[in-house]
Amino acid sequence: MTRAFDRRLGDDFLEKVPRTPGVYRVLDAAGTVVYVGKAVNLRRRLSQYRHATRRKKHRKMREIVKSAASVVFEACANELEAELRETALIQALRPRWNVAGAFSFLYPFVGLGERGKGHAVLAFSSAPEEHPELAWHGAYRSREITGEAFFAWVRLLAMIGHRERTARRERGTRTWCFEIRKLDAGWQERWSAFLRGSSRDALAALAFSLLDKPRARRDAKTVEADLAALDRFYRHEAEKLARACQRTGETRWPVPQRERDALFLRARRIAAP
Which are the contacts of 43, defined by CB distance < 8 A and separation ≥ 6?
14, 17, 18, 19
Amino acid at 107: Y
Return phi, psi of residue 65, to 5°: -65, -40
Residue 128, classed as helix, strand or coil, is: helix
Pinpoint the alpha helices (H) of the chain: 2-9, 42-50, 59-67, 79-93, 143-160, 187-195, 201-210, 214-218, 220-233, 239-248, 257-271
| The pLDDT of residue 48 | 95
- What domains are defined for the chain? 2-93 (3.40.1440.10), 108-271 (no CATH)
Q: What gap in Å lies between CA 192 and CA 231, rounded to an integer?
A: 15
How far is it between the farthest Cα atoms of the chain? 74
Contact call for residues 91 and 102 (beta carbons, < 8 A) = yes
| pLDDT tens profile 94-131 | 999 998 778 899 999 999 999 877 789 999 999 999 99
| The pLDDT of residue 273 | 61
Q: Assess whether the previous peptide bond of 139 is cis (omega < 30° from 0).
A: yes
| pLDDT tens profile 7-20 | 889 989 999 999 99
Note the pTM of the prediction, 2 decimals: 0.83
Residue 76 half-sphere exposure, CB side, CA atoms within 13 Å?
20
